[in-house]
Structure 1
Amino acid sequence: MASIHKHVTREMVSLEATAPIREAARLMSERKIGSVAVRDGGRIVGLVTERDLVATVLARGADANHPMREAMRQGLPRVSSSATEVEVAGLMRDHTTRHLLVEEGGQVVGVVSMRDIIQLMLDEKQFLIEQLQTYIDGR
């Protein structure tokens, strides 16, 4: 099993925790992304995802001008860039999320999405298929 290291998005889109929820939704739509990192005092403290916006704003009838910190889910784990796709997929399943922050040396360095994990799994399967084909062909 490979680590997620190469599949981490290191150029995160982020907003201050005090920015309006509406701004996070606009950025997600504009950039076709599923999450925006939340900064507090220059430090990444969490993520707001599309699912969070649905649960916080739409389902509860909250004001889209409320600060992002109100839409951010608490208690999501962070993963190391050395984590395997199986470990990350399990955390995503257990915490009902498609995005996790990635840490190295106690610092947030990026985000990994379910799409990234699926791509990693597909890449590994393709590699195995190619290895088996080479073995079968006797090359």
Structure 2
Amino acid sequence: MSKISHILLKNPIIVPTGTKLSEAAQLMKKNKIASVLVSKNGRLAGIVSVEDIMQSVAEKIKLDISVEEIMHSPELTIDSDKWLTDAIAMFEHCKAAHIAVVEHGEKIGIIRAEDVLHTYRFNKQEEKR
């Protein structure tokens, strides 16, 4: 079984609290990513994903609100040294699609449920061979 550090998306885009949701959406589009981390005073405050933005649009919330109004809170973090099974359990428990990855308390990347499932399936196929 792989570790999270093997599949995380490194060098995530980080926006400060107060960033307009429309700005975050533009950054995601420009960088072809599905989430951004949100920081407050240099510390991880949360994460905003494409799904969060779509939900706010579906609920007819204005896009000029700040990212912290829809972000997931910082409990959606996982240490890079954890196993993929730990990430799977967290994704299931939190019903999230993206989790911030930390190492020694510092944010270092993002892991997507899609990446975990792809890696897990790939590992299962390799075990059958």
TM range (shorter): 0.7 to 0.9
Aligned length: 129
Among all aligned residue pairs of Structure 1 and Structure 2, give the percentage whose two residues are the same amino acid.
22
- With normalisation by structure 1, the TM-score equals 0.82
Using structure 2 for the length normalisation, give the TM-score: 0.87
Root-mean-square deviation (CA), in Å? 1.8
Structure 1: state its 5+ residue gaps.
133-139
Higher strand share: 2
Structure 2 residue aligned with 1:105: 104
Amino acid in the other structure paired with 1:53:
I
Q: Distance in 2 between matches of 1:24 and 1:101?
A: 16
1:52 aligned residue: 52
5+ long unaligned stretches in structure 2: none
Provide the C-alpha distance between the structure 2 equivalents of 1:14 and 1:75, rounded to a whole number of angstroms.
Answer: 13
Name the CA distance, whole Å, in 2 between partners of 1:30 and 1:63.
Answer: 21
Give the aligned partner of residue 119 of structure 1.
118
Q: Is contact 1:76-1:95 (8 Å) kept?
A: no
Match of 1:74 in 2: 73
2:102 is paired with a residue of what secondary structure?
strand
Instruction: State how 1:1-139 maps to structure 2 within 5 Å.
Output: 1-55=1-55, 57-74=56-73, 76-129=75-128, 132=129
Q: Separation in 2 of the partners of 1:4 and 1:113?
A: 10
Alignment partners' CA distance in 2, 1:72 and 1:85: 23
